[in-house]
Amino acid sequence: MGEQGKRTAVIIGAGPAGLTAAYELLTRTDVRPIVLEKNPDVGGLSRTIEHHGNLMDIGGHRFFSKSDRVMNWWLMHLPLESSAAGGTEITYQQKTRRIETPGLSDAQAQQNAAAAAERAAGLTPNPEAVMLLRRRQSRIYFLGKFFAYPVQMSRDTLSKLGLLRTIRILFSYLRAALFPPRPVKNLEDFFIRRFGKELYLTFFKSYTEKVWGVPCQQISAAWGEQRVKSLSVRRSLRHFLKQTLGRATQDIFQKQTETSLIEQFLYPKYGPGQMWREVACKVEALGGEILRQTQPRRLEIVGPRVQAVLVADGAGQQRRIACDFVFSTMPVKELAGLLDGPVPKNVREVAAGLQYRDFIAVGLLLNSLRIKDDVSSPAPLVADTWIYLQDPDVLAGRLLIFNNWSPYLVKDPSKVWIGVEYFCYESDNLWKLPEEEMARLAMTELERIGIIDAREVVDWRVERVPKAYPAYFGAYERFGEVQEFLDGFENLFLVGRNGMHKYNNQDHSMLTAMVAVDNIIAGRTEKSNIWAVNTEMEYHEEKS
Ligand SMILES: Cc1cc2nc3c(=O)[nH]c(=O)nc-3n(C[C@H](O)[C@H](O)[C@H](O)COP(=O)(O)OP(=O)(O)OC[C@H]3O[C@@H](n4cnc5c(N)ncnc54)[C@H](O)[C@@H]3O)c2cc1C
């Protein structure tokens, strides 16, 4: 028991999962959260970086979820911009409804209670704290041409690829449909089975290997299953036909739509970090504590429980926090090294062998880009949010055009603010490049493939992001051994992305935290329902 006879939860990490856990505990339980965050700012991978008045989103964070619980939660904290002026109608599963109208589901009832708790804490809505509804446009840039993303078997794609390659694609797709690779041993087999070899070689191999830095044969097929899910040539054809016939839905909840084909998303006016600063502010106003620049040093174990966490702040000042629960969103690899108790040799080995892919984002501020939607287009800027760079001879993997995410990310609206993404390992020379050389590399590469004229660049920013992607190779095959051991501590909850070593997006990361809090309320110590998030197409709460 902590202060005022309340139970205490130590939450490691103030990213989406940690802050969701803190907010849920404060509004639904008597447990007081103490959040440890090693950085000065909150938001984790979903933070927003400020650079000379321009805002940078690392990776581009679409706010979209198939979970109503998450969608409602986001909109409770940052309502849709237009709803501030009397409400907005949205279409949801063929039904039209107003966003702010309370429904009858448990999740919404909980949110009403949360809103009441916020009012009691004197929190008032901030008119700037809103979401924009954005249109997603992502394309692949390859051989100096734009292709639809995800790649679609449309007339446009086929005409840009040329007759010979088109025939090869169709034959290899048919071949894969008739004689699929069996068993599906790795990601390459997964892609070939789903798309055929030729399409895999043209559109998937190079980008995927840029992202992961290893051949697709060395990556688990599980990555494809989670990331690509049921996207297939057949589905993409069906989507294309639907669009052509004008029946594509305007439903922002888009539950019927394959995740990779979603065409609209919500986005905080000032980037994803706005959501997490807003939630952090509420957590503190509601009585939670966020200890910034503070890290756990040791978890004291007694039997099947963590009884306290020893923490140290940036100045090295140490403090022991007795706790009833621990939520961890820090990398599993590092957590395993903090347990002050016997850790079996195999668990130590597997945890130490977990791998991650790191990420460098280069922000470039320009007067203009060289690319246009088409030669005759009067629009000064292409409409894309993301552009995938497929050419194998440039290291850059993806490009974000921040103006199209939110115009409020750009200080001077006459400028173009873009993010160039590089995937690498902390051990690579690329990671160690001085910032100026890194920025120069981004400019040279984009100039080489015809996207910019480097002389148009007026400012730049380099941001290194360690452990952006938990890898599904290396010791991952034996991850179950670590999971089983850590799950054995009844009051320790692994949640989030690196916290579970799972390719979780914000919504999945948040749901794992929500389900962990549900378990605390229900007195449940078995954790399979937390691991089930993001393994099924729909979550338990939706099924029920
Ligand atoms: C390139 C890219 C694009 C993405 N795009 C999307 C998208 O479009 N939509 C979407 O929903 N999601 C997207 N995501 C995923 C999203 O960023 C993550 O799902 C989400 O941020 C995970 O939340 P988390 O709290 O689990 O972890 P994190 O965001 O990693 O937060 C963990 C926090 O823990 C802190 N921490 C770590 N170790 C310690 C320690 N020892 N002590 C104290 N604190 C510690 C970190 O500093 C961090 O603040 C993307 C991710 C990337 C990398």
Is the same domain home to 465 and 381?
yes
Which tokens go with 30? 């008597």
**Interhelix angle for 506-522 vs 16-28, to 10°?**
30
Q: What is the pLDDT of residue 411?
A: 97
- Domain-embedded: residue 102: no
What lies within 8 Å, CB to CB, of 375 at 6+ separation is: none
Statement to judge: residues 363 and 499 lie in one domain: no
Q: What pLDDT was estimated at residue 517?
A: 98
Structure confidence by residue, pLDDT tens digits, 310-342: 999 999 999 999 999 999 999 999 999 999 989
Residue 25 belongs to domain spanning: 3-44+271-350+475-543
- Find the 508 Cα to ligand 1 centroid distance in Å: 11
- Could you tell me if 14 and 42 are in contact, meaning their C-beta atoms sit under 8 angstroms apart? yes
Q: Is 505 touching ligand 1 by the criterion CB < 6 Å? A: yes
**Which protein residue has the closest C-alpha to ligand 1 atom 48?**
44
Confidence of residue 234 (pLDDT cuts 50, 70, 90): low
Q: Looking at the structure, tell me whether residues 287 and 329 fall in a common domain.
A: yes
Please give the share of the chain, as a percent, with pLDDT higher than 70: 84
Looking at residue 97, its pLDDT comes to 39
Residue that terminates a domain, selected from 435, 470, 505: 470
Q: Cα–Cα distance between 511 and 529 in angstroms, integer?
A: 10
Query: Going by C-beta distance under 8 Å and a sequence separation of 6 or more, which residues neighbour residue 214?
Result: 473
Confidence class for position 380, pLDDT limits 50, 70, 90:
confident
Residues 466 and 364 in one domain: yes
Q: Which residue, of 425, 446, 470, is where some domain finishes?
A: 470
Confidence (pLDDT) at 399 = 96
- Atom of ligand 1 minimally distant from the CA of 18: 25
pLDDT number for residue 123: 74
Residue nearest to atom 39 of ligand 1 (CA): 330
Give yes or no: residues 461 and 498 share one domain.
no
Packing angle of the helix pair 163-178, 187-195 (nearest 10 deg): 110
Examine the domain organization and report whether 376 and 428 are in the same domain: yes
Residues 206 and 220 placed together within one structural domain of the fold = yes
Q: Which residue in 491, 486, 495 sits closest to 346, CA to CA? A: 486
Determine if ligand 1 sits within 6 Å of the CB of residue 499.
yes
Which residue out of 326, 506, 534 has the highest number of ligand 1 atoms within 8 Å of its CB and is therefore the one to mutate?
506
Nearest residue CA, atom 11 of ligand 1?
A: 506
Q: Are residues 177 and 34 in the same domain?
A: no
What is the average pLDDT value for the chain, to the nearest integer? Answer: 86
User: In what side-by-side order are the strands of the sheet with 305-313?
Assistant: 318-322, 305-313, 294-302, 339-340
CA distances from 349 to 333, 339, 478, 500 (A): 10, 14, 10, 17
Number of domains in the chain: 3
Nearest to 421 by CA among 400, 402, 391: 400
Sign of CA dihedral 512, 515, 520, 523: negative
pLDDT value at 247 more than 60:
no
What SS3 class is residue 90?
strand
Q: Give the mutation target among 34, 467, 505, 515 for probing the ligand 1 site: most ligand atoms within 8 A of CB.
A: 505
Segment 381-397 shows an average pLDDT of: 91
Cis bond before residue 150 (omega within 30° of 0):
yes
CATH number at residue 365: 3.90.660.20
Does the Cβ of 38 fall within 6 Å of ligand 1? yes
- Mean pLDDT within 115-135: 81
Residue with CA at minimum distance from ligand 1 atom 14: 505
CATH for 39: 3.50.50.60
Q: Are residues 360 and 460 in the same domain?
A: yes
Model confidence over 439-458: pLDDT tens digits?
A: 999 999 999 999 999 999 99
The set of long-range contacts for 202-207, using a CB threshold of 8 Å and a minimum separation of 24, is 202/142, 202/161, 202/165, 202/169, 203/140, 203/142, 203/147, 203/151, 203/390, 206/390, 206/391, 206/392, 207/388, 207/389, 207/390, 207/397
* Rounded distance between C-alpha atoms, residue 511 and residue 490, angstroms: 19
Q: With respect to residue 409, please indicate whether it lies within any of the assigned structural domains.
A: yes
C-alpha closest to that of 10 among 306, 342, 333, 341: 306
What separation in Å is there between the alpha carbon of 494 and the centre of ligand 1? 14
96-110, 187-201, 431-445, 504-518: the lowest-pLDDT one: 96-110
CA 530 to ligand 1 centroid distance, Å: 17
| 118 lies in some domain | no
Q: How many CA atoms lie within 13 A of 525 on its CB side?
A: 13
| CA dihedral (99, 17, 57, 226) positive or negative | negative
Clarify whether residues 396 and 533 are in a common domain.
no
Could you tell me the distance, in angstroms and rounded to a whole number, from the CA of residue 333 to the centre of ligand 1?
15
Best residue among 35, 38, 46 to mutate for probing ligand 1's pocket (most ligand atoms within 8 Å of CB) is 46
Q: Are 11 and 34 in contact (CB under 8 A)?
A: yes
Task: Tell whether ligand 1 has an atom less than 6 A from the beta carbon of residue 494.
Answer: no
Written as one string, the DSSP assignment of 39-78 is SSSS-GGG-EEEETTEEEESS---B--S-HHHHHHHHHHS
Q: How many Å lie between the centroid of ligand 1 and the Cα of residue 166?
A: 39
- Pairing verdict, β 264-268 and 386-389: unpaired
Q: Does the beta carbon of 470 sit less than 6 angstroms from any atom of ligand 1?
A: no
Do residue 450 and residue 485 come from a single domain? no
pLDDT at 378: 67
* Nearest residue by C-alpha to atom 1 in ligand 1: 59
Is 493 inside any structural domain?
yes
Q: Would 72 be classed as within a structural domain?
A: no
> How far is Cα 186 from Cα 180, in angstroms, rounded to an integer?
13
Residue of the CA atom closest to atom 5 of ligand 1: 61
Ligand 1 within 6 A of 509 CB? yes
Quick one: pLDDT at residue 467?
Answer: 97
Please tell me the predicted confidence (pLDDT) of residue 251. 42
* Residue 182 amino acid letter: R
Top pLDDT among 393 and 249 is at: 393
Smallest CA separation from ligand 1 atom 2, residue: 59
Token output for 134: 């954005």
Instruction: Looking at the CA of residue 59, tell me the nearest atom of ligand 1.
Output: 1
Of 442, 470, 498, the residue at which a domain comes to its end is: 470
Is any ligand 1 atom within 6 A of the Cβ of residue 17?
A: yes
Do 188 and 208 fall into the same domain? yes
- Structure token pair of residue 484: 């089983």
List, for residues 69-111, the tens digit of each pLDDT value.
999 999 999 999 875 455 554 443 333 434 553 333 455 556 6
Residue 462 lies inside a defined structural domain of this protein: yes
Query: How close is the Cα of 446 to the center of ligand 1, in Å?
Result: 27
Does residue 279's CB lie within 6 angstroms of at least one atom of ligand 1? no
Within a domain: residue 78?
no
The letter for the amino acid at 248 is A
Higher-confidence residue: 164 or 281? 281
